[in-house]
Structure 1
Amino acid sequence: MTGELFPDAPTPVGDEVLAPGAMLLRGYAVGRAEALVAAVEEVQSRVPFVHLVTPGGHTMSVAMTNCGRVGWVSDRRGYRYAATRPGTDQPWPDMPDVLRELAEEAARRSGFPDFDPDACLINRYEPGARMSLHQDRDENDRQAPIVSVSLGLPAVFQFGGFQRSDRPARIPLAHGDVVVWGGPSRMRFHGVLAVKPGDHPLLGNCRINLTFRKVF
């Protein structure tokens, strides 16, 4: 399917096994990056990026928006998924086909043939933004994979064990790289070190991260 939809897409650089149920697909999204960014711009034109507040009262350094059946939100009441945008009765924008197709194809390539994402969390990292080590625990389905797509500035992905104290591997991610983890690796701690300044030809001085989730 990828070759039919994107005939000029380069062959991915290679796949790397990170752990049982976890794969790094180097360069997998490069050939469709412009279409992905255009889809992100359409979503954020309807639901702009915001810096959410954690239950502890801290403002996240990463800005976020969502698309899909549900969206992930955070405030003083906690972390959760919601069918409507905070403060409104409006649903989130539909997940664009180009996003959904990429997520499903990457999951299938990584051994998860039935992945059907409910949500796409769109994170914008400007220089200095980071994501501390955490587990994704707000989904009812904790076997289906997380599919994470990197666009723009490079970043260092931390992929740890099942305890926060486990020392994580530090994995450099470049524009177009995709990480997939599920099944036996689904509950591993992970995060992103602070993004360094730069100038990417497509996204300028920022990194966009798409994370696809099966919530229900």
Structure 2
Amino acid sequence: MVVQAVTIFHHEEQRKSSCSDPAPSSWDPADDLRCITTTFQYLQTSGWYWGPISASKAREALLTKSEGTFLVRDSSHPQYMLALSVKTRCGPTSVRIEYSKGCFWLDSVSPGLPQLQSFPDVLSLIQHYTSSGHAAQDQTSSDIHPQMEPDPSQHAAKDRGVPLKLKHPLHKLEVFPSLQHLTRLTINRHTNCPNQLPLPKPLLFYLQDYPFSI
């Protein structure tokens, strides 16, 4: 219960501040640990974090899926923690997820856009680009031209700037979400203030443990 309380507090505090603001010069490495721990707790709960699979295995899993199907996995590059693998109109591809001082963002090669919008955790990043509510803002999922993570099984493309559309997560069969989690997702999709619902405190805590709709 202590771990859950720390996770919720950290997430709420991070969401109040913008990752677009420069991190303070006195950044505490312990904050990195809290931020990364929170992100991996969310990912483990999501059901679409595939862990240490290769880009080739991710491509194989996504090959027959519809455009916009995605998963998150460990990056094969030693300088990155995570990668986003997604089925695009040109086939499956992977994008590295950058991290620095409490902020996550997609590795982008868009001209004139050195860094895409950053977020306090990977789930917030993914939800931003899957949410139609952000379509009219500065950077939509269809406008992303990120730096693709190379797949050794594929020939290098001349232009890796493939627009991404994130629509549906691909769950691992062995960790398919429970009925309770699916209910939580449905509630989160229909309210922005689940803590104000007339529910018992244990249920409110359960909703707060995963405040996302994907």
Asked whether the two chains share a fold, i.e. TM above 0.5, the reply is no
Q: Return the TM-score normalized by structure 2.
A: 0.26
Is the radius of gyration larger for structure 1 or structure 2? 2
Identify, as 1 or 2, the structure richer in strand: 1
Q: Return the TM-score normalized by structure 1.
A: 0.26
Which one has more relative contact order, counting CA pairs under 8 Å at least 6 apart? Answer: 1
Identify, as 1 or 2, the structure richer in helix: 2
